[in-house]
Amino acid sequence: MFMRKPVFMRALAAGVFTLSVASIGLAADLPANPVALGSPITEAQLADWDLIVAPDGDNLPDGSGTAAQGQMIYHQKCAACHGTAGEGASGSPALVGGSVSTTPPLLTVGSYWPHASTLFDYVRRAMPPTAPKSLSNTEVYQLTAYVLHLHGVVAEDFVLDKNTLPAVQMPNRDGFIDVSAN
């Protein structure tokens, strides 16, 4: 018995050593198989968030719409807060009318915003506030056209799309200085 014990101990020690090597091997594998939290985002999922439209219209989606087409949806989904003619209501801003030159100035989308693309971008991502991102791109083109038409910027049948929208001339387009260009 006395002679066998060290042999047993050596065997046990060798087993522990083998286990340790196995553990180190596992740990060494981790960087190649990182912490398994969630799964990589797909292009389709990313498309739901890649919505920012630049002032020059970059990243505007396909689709088109006119003010005539946007009138009904404006009355269904926007007028309760922004007024039937975009004049605003308690707690919700006027979208059209106003002027930057009065005292005090009345700053609206129509009188103040330098780029029509911002209207498309904002409405698509934020309005109506109870259901942001619920509008289709076609609806957003139609609503953008309707709000611009309420301010007299485009005609009722003017077709807004990713080519025509960046060329729309907003009344206050020269009212800002691009400090990044200096």
- Comparing CB distances to ligand HEC, the nearer of 141 and 162 is 141
Count, residues in the chain? 182
Cβ–Cβ under 8 Å, residues 59 and 52: yes
CA pair distance 127, 150, nearest whole angstrom: 18
Q: Pick from 53, 60, 116, 119: which binds ligand HEC (CB under 6 A)?
A: 119
**Residue window 85-104: x/- pattern of binding to ligand HEC, with contact defined by CB under 6 A:** ------xxx-x---------
CA pair distance 59, 17, nearest whole angstrom: 59
Q: Pick from 68, 87, 106, 122: which binds ligand HEC (CB under 6 A)?
A: 122
Number of residues that bind ligand HEC (CB under 6 A): 19
160 CB-near residues (< 8 Å, 6+ apart) = 64, 65, 66, 141, 144, 145, 148, 154, 168
The residue with tokens 């990044």 is: 180
CA pair distance 47, 131, nearest whole angstrom: 18
- Per CB under 6 A, does 148 bind ligand HEC? no
- Per CB under 6 A, does 106 bind ligand HEC? no
- Per CB under 6 A, does 61 bind ligand HEC? no
Shortest distance in whole angstroms from residue 145 CB to ligand HEC? 11
Q: Pick from 57, 82, 124, 142: which binds ligand HEC (CB under 6 A)?
A: 82
- Comparing CB distances to ligand HEC, the nearer of 103 and 130 is 130
In whole angstroms, what separates CA 152 from the centre of its chain? Answer: 27
Q: Binding residues for ligand HEC, per CB under 6 A? A: 77-78, 80-82, 91-93, 95, 108-109, 119, 122-123, 127-130, 143
